[in-house]
Amino acid sequence: MDMIKQELKNGNTLNIFNGEELIFSSKSNWLNPLFEADEFFTNNPQKFDNLMAHDTAGGKAAAALMIRMNIKRVHFNLVSEQALKLLKEYNVELIYDKKVDKLLCMTEDLLSSETNIDSIYSFLRIKAKKVSGLSIDMNNVSIGYNKKAVFKNLNLSLKAGEAVVINGENGIGKTTLIRTLLGELSPVSGSITIDGTNINKIEKSTIGYIKQEKEKQNFPTNVREVVAMGIKEKLSKKDKNYLIETSLRKCRANHLVDRNYYTLSGGEKQRVSIARTLAQKAKILIFDEPTSFLDHESEEELAQILQALNTTQMPTILCITHDVELIKKLNWRVYKMERQDA
């Protein structure tokens, strides 16, 4: 029995089936049902291999989201020509009741020239306000110790969900900048605001810090404990475990949950550290020389994770590194801290 051919009932706007089993449905509007489904798949440990969907209307945006969720067959009551083309390109089988040249919505126009699924996804998340990051504004900031500036007139603005690489030679003040952003040092002058609020007034847990790993520990700490240390809320044991496992799953590290952290590879450690910041619900992530102690393979893996994080969860990311290879792989905006004359 072809479930997706059946009429949408009870006010549902989207039904998703795995084979004949209805696994997800939503009554929301616009792209929200698809974002809800995306969240459902991210948090669900089960693997679905035969996904089919029935949606009321599908433009290019809906088509891209369905392709991303690995849906193999789609039934749209109303489909646009752009959606049809995209689904065909990705070999998704389509059934539709009515076809139009394009849907009468701005999103369809804005996406007309975009072909990359990840770019479409990021764009839609921003549009749907599903960005977990916060904006950062640094205006004429001088950073240093004991009121003595080591780096002056730093001007850098990041939009919510933007990712940027901060690069500069050793001793230029990168660590001082990190310590200032973490609230351990106050700016010597100038102002730093997070989402319009002075940095001194924001919750510490807003910023997740991932630093370079070098120490070898002979005593164990398991991955669950590492991720749990980021959780600030008072949760029941069940909810806490759910949050830990969901955070690890988002970083493809849920299989490591009971392992000793110190026996993991460099790349696995970085994934667990990112999961810690997700459990922390950090909105800004600071990576401090993340590739320093990684082998080539782990470096590749880290770059992929950072890219995925920037596409999916979209926290605001500051990656402080002098690793040229990583900078090339990430292809993010680069802010270079240059030596200043005394």
Sheet (strand 93-100) strand order: 21-26, 14-18, 51-58, 73-80, 93-100
Q: Site for other proteins (CB under 8 A): which residue of 13, 107, 247, 280?
A: 280
**Residue 254 sits in the site that holds other proteins (CB under 8 A):** no
**Residue 239 sits in the site that holds other proteins (CB under 8 A):** no
> x-or-dash pattern for other proteins, window 320-339, by CB under 8 A?
--------------------
**Residue 204 sits in the site that holds other proteins (CB under 8 A):** yes
Q: Site for other proteins (CB under 8 A): which residue of 115, 191, 229, 340?
A: 229
Name the one range near other proteins by CB under 8 A: 55-63, 135-143, 202-210, 295-303.
Answer: 202-210
Distance CA 318, CA 333 (A): 10
Helix (H, G, I), strand (E, B) or coil at 212: coil
Smallest Cα–Cα separation from 337: which of 207, 210, 182, 165?
A: 165
> In the bound complex, what is the minimum distance in angstroms from residue 323's beta carbon to other proteins?
20
Distance CA 273, CA 88 (A): 39
> In the bound complex, what is the minimum distance in angstroms from residue 149's beta carbon to other proteins?
22
Distance CA 82, CA 66 (A): 14
**Residue 211 sits in the site that holds other proteins (CB under 8 A):** yes
**Residue 161 sits in the site that holds other proteins (CB under 8 A):** no
> In the bound complex, what is the minimum distance in angstroms from residue 207's beta carbon to other proteins?
7
The footprint of other proteins on this chain (CB under 8 A) covers a number of residues equal to 27
Q: Do residues 157 and 138 lie in contact, with contact meaning Cβ atoms separated by under 8 Å?
A: yes
DSSP string for 1-50: --GGGSPP-TT-SEEEEETTEEEEEE---TTHHHHHHHHHHHH--S--SS
**Beta strand 73-80 with 189-194: parallel, antiparallel or unpaired?**
unpaired
> In the bound complex, what is the minimum distance in angstroms from residue 261's beta carbon to other proteins?
8
Residues that bind other proteins (CB under 8 A): 182, 184, 203-205, 207-209, 211, 218-222, 224-226, 228-232, 258-261, 280
